[in-house]
Chains A and B, each alone.
Chain A
Amino acid sequence: MDDLSDEAFRLVVRAWVVANYPPEIRNPLKRLHWNECKSWYFKLAEKGWLCPGWPVEYGGMGLSPGKQLIMLDEFERHGCARTIDQGVLMVGPLLIAHGTDEQRAFFLPKVLSGEHIWCQGYSEPNAGSDLASLRTLAERDGDDYVINGQKIWTSMAMDANWIYVLARTDRQAKKQEGIGFFLVPMDTPGITVRPLMTLDLNEEFAETFFDNVRVPASALVGQPNRGWSMAKALLGFERIFVGSPKQSAYALARLRDLAERMGISEDGSFLKVFNRHRLDVEDLTDLYGVYVEQVQRGEIPGPDVSMLKVFQTELYQRIGETMLDVAGEHGGMLEPMEGNRALNPAGLFLQSRPSTIYSGTNEIQRNILSKNVLELPG
């Protein structure tokens, strides 16, 4: 695929998406659960397109950054759903960079086949922005660890069959230094998931309770007290993903549909606003490309990747707000206009709201930028 010209590649992707994307989940109104999005996951997996960024030797496409962007753009234009992608986006890259050969051999094929669906167990009720203060405990007991505690806001925990968990392995150590990184099957006795309803009225995240959850010592990745640095590396990947133009590009395409429906797509005042968003999306895409290239070279993204996350999420929200402006009274309705899923201004607006909260709030990203990138005092 890398031999094709960009234009030819785009047409190949477009034709395949049109022919293969399950029409019943085009422009989904909400984040889809596994039983709703797995058909798309399996299509991608079958075609070998599930992991465009992974190296070919691990089952990825090893695709150049430029072509990854084209692929993403075509998916968004068509209104393709987000799958449950923690394995593809986070666990895969982490193990490729930090895992042992055994871990890679065991886990990567199961991500590629859809056998393992992952969720992220980081946040706790009292450890959100201050993640390092987490209290879930993993105590060594012979050959096992026993995990006790509570996670919260675990996205898609009810769909996942594996969870990666941060838990305290040393209560005496400084808060960042006593944390372990565990890979745990969700059906381990003692794990309970209680779904929580989002503002978008979707049971999309959950509380995940650990009550004497016994796992073998091999569930630990790396050293017992060195989980924090891995977690941070993963957050870097997450921020690249959240900073990708995916959401903004999707929102922009739907804004255009909406403007057409409202009969203002040629209005000067609308075009001014639309054009501004459009250039923002294009510029974001360039900045994103810089980070995709970094990952391609095998580098772990640094703290500056927070720029991408801040700009993307706030752009996504601005487009969501423009949608409400354009929709007028329709933006106050619960259902999409005329039953057309592409015309869902209120849903899109609502879904854009948490993007400045998840994967580290934008306040925290700005703290990181000012401290670790700009090295300002204080």
Chain B
Amino acid sequence: MTNADDLRMIRESAAGIAPRTSDLKRIRALRFTEPGFDRTVWREMCEMGWLGLLVPEDQGGSGLGVQAFCALTEELGAALIPEPLIAAAMAARLLPSDMLPDVMAGDRIVLPAWQEKPLSLDLADGGTMFAGGRVTGKKVFVPMAAGADAFLVTVPGGLALVERGAAGVHLECQTTQDGGNSGTLTLDNAHAVWIDGDASAALETACMATSAYLLGVMDRVFGITMEYLKTREQFGRKIGSFQALQHRSADLKIQVSLARATVNAAAKTQDESGDSALRKAAVSRAKARASDAASIVTRGCIQLHGGIGYTDAADPGLFLRKMMVLAPAYGSAAVHRARFRDLAPVGDED
């Protein structure tokens, strides 16, 4: 259960680490470094209870819902926070209680390794197999993998926990456009601990949380841009007075509002509906909209800035690069539109 007060409190609590007005200095300094985020900040985030937001209270979490988590990740998006909360939270709720304490304290980072090919939402394609305490296969696009201590690997029928340093575990990280990294995990008969469970629901929540993060991204860069239109002058006038830019801005605002309405409604559906197909269809609609809108808005904001928008020193570019990484993550707009079509075929509405 989450009420409006809880959501407001969560947003306010985010302001310490993810202030809406930050100058993004910390974010810039962490770009293109390894692991691309700050473990001290990670511990603070864990102390705030963020990692455990979705973990049941009897396991040391706060047992809140998807709406609460999305309220938080929207704030993280607005501040471009690189710490891998969405991924780590996906893993945390799948770990058994006895493995949780040091994870929840922020001392140990476990990230999910679920994906086996691009543009896919399949958790276990059969490309990674567990047998006799060993796991073999390959997982791709593990976000911020350079900072993980262990990986929770999805395999047919369950989960397998592998330590990053174990024999047969090979991690290769690629730098991402936002200055973070993405891991390819190759497992060759690696020692693994079997964990009962199914990551499907956790994946849905990660899709939702990423949609909300993208909402924060587009909302903040849009705000920055509206400020710019009110200050920059050309032809002796504020550029915001040109009708061409006013119309462009209005169009971007429509996208932000659509994304906000869709993400909020979908998050509510997650907390309130027991109908799995309905819930998934809502997730897909939210992620499709958030990915598309984030792309439209970040691109539009670069254009509205003119030349300075194409510099690395100006902030809009940071938001565009984040979009480039997160719009395709956890299913691109096209992937989610296709899934929506399958879940909600035309003619099935009534």
Contacts and interface: CB of A to CB of B under 8 A. Distances in A.
B340 interface: no
Contacts of B325: 332
B310 A354 contact: yes
Interface in B58-104: none
Given A128-B306, A332-B182, A325 B175 contact: no
A317 B334 CA distance: 18
Given A196-B313, A197-B313, A328-B328, 18 more contacts: A128-B234, A324-B324, A324-B328, A329-B119, A329-B141, A329-B328, A329-B329, A331-B324, A332-B178, A332-B325, A346-B177, A353-B299, A353-B310, A354-B307, A357-B303, A357-B310, A363-B244, A367-B244
Contact of A152 (B299, B307, B320, B332): B307
A123 B307 contact: yes
B118 interface: yes
Contacts of B186: none
Contacts, number: 108
A201 interface: yes
B304 to A, nearest CB: 9
Interface string A113-137: 0000000000100101110010000
Interface string A339-378: 0000000100100011011100111001100000000000
A357 B328 contact: no
A74 interface: no
A65 B218 CA distance: 44
A363 B310 CA distance: 16
B309 interface: yes
Contact of A198 (B176, B242, B311, B335): B311
B174 interface: yes
A83 B242 CA distance: 36
Contacts of B160: none
Interface string A176-220: 000000000000000000001111010000000000000000000
B303 A356 contact: yes
B324 A335 contact: no
Contact of B242 (A196, A199, A363): A363
A334 B311 contact: no
* Interface size grouping (class) on chain A: 35 or more
A346 B311 CA distance: 16
A228 interface: no
A262 interface: yes
26 contacts: A128-B234, A128-B307, A129-B234, A129-B306, A130-B236, A133-B234, A133-B235, A152-B307, A197-B311, A324-B324, A324-B328, A327-B328, A328-B328, A329-B141, A332-B178, A332-B327, A334-B177, A335-B175, A349-B324, A353-B299, A353-B303, A357-B302, A357-B309, A357-B310, A361-B306, A363-B245
B240 interface: no
A358 B311 CA distance: 13
Given A129-B235, A197-B312, A262-B118, A358 B307 contact: yes
A330 interface: yes
A321 interface: yes
A246 to B, nearest CB: 19
The 5 closest A-B pairs by CB, nearest first: A332-B325, A328-B119, A328-B118, A197-B312, A130-B234
A353 B312 contact: no
A153 interface: yes
B244 A366 contact: yes
A327 B239 CA distance: 36
A262 B327 CA distance: 18
* Interface size grouping (class) on chain B: 35 or more
Contacts of B309: 199, 357
B317 interface: yes
A333 interface: yes
A153 B307 contact: yes
Nearest to A333: B174
Interface in B292-314: 295, 299, 302-303, 306-307, 309-313
Given A198-B310, A334-B175, A353 B302 contact: yes
Interface in A98-157: 123, 126, 128-130, 133, 152-153
Nearest to B299: A353
Find the residue from B295, B328, B335 having the highest chain A CB count within 10 A: B328
B324 A332 contact: yes
Contacts of B326: 332
A128 to B, nearest CB: 6
B324 A330 contact: no
A367 B244 CA distance: 9
A325 B333 CA distance: 8
Interface in B158-172: none
A333 B181 CA distance: 8
Contacts of A361: 303, 306
A197 B176 CA distance: 18
A101 to B, nearest CB: 37
A198 B316 CA distance: 12
Contacts of A153: 307
Contacts of B327: 324, 332
A283 B329 CA distance: 35
Find the residue from A123, A129, A152 having the highest chain B CB count within 10 A: A129
B307 to A, nearest CB: 5
A346 B335 CA distance: 19
Contacts of A330: 118
Given A196-B311, A358-B307, A367-B244, A332 B302 contact: no
B118 A199 contact: no
Contacts of B242: 363
A332 B177 contact: yes
Given A128-B234, A324-B324, A334-B175, A329 B182 contact: yes
Nearest to B298: A353
B302 A325 contact: no
A162 to B, nearest CB: 22
Given A196-B311, A321-B295, A331 B234 contact: no
Contact of B317 (A196, A199, A324, A331): A199
Nearest to A153: B307
B311 A332 contact: no
Contact of B174 (A201, A325, A335): A335
Contacts of A199: 302, 309-312, 317, 320-321
B309 to A, nearest CB: 7
A334 to B, nearest CB: 4
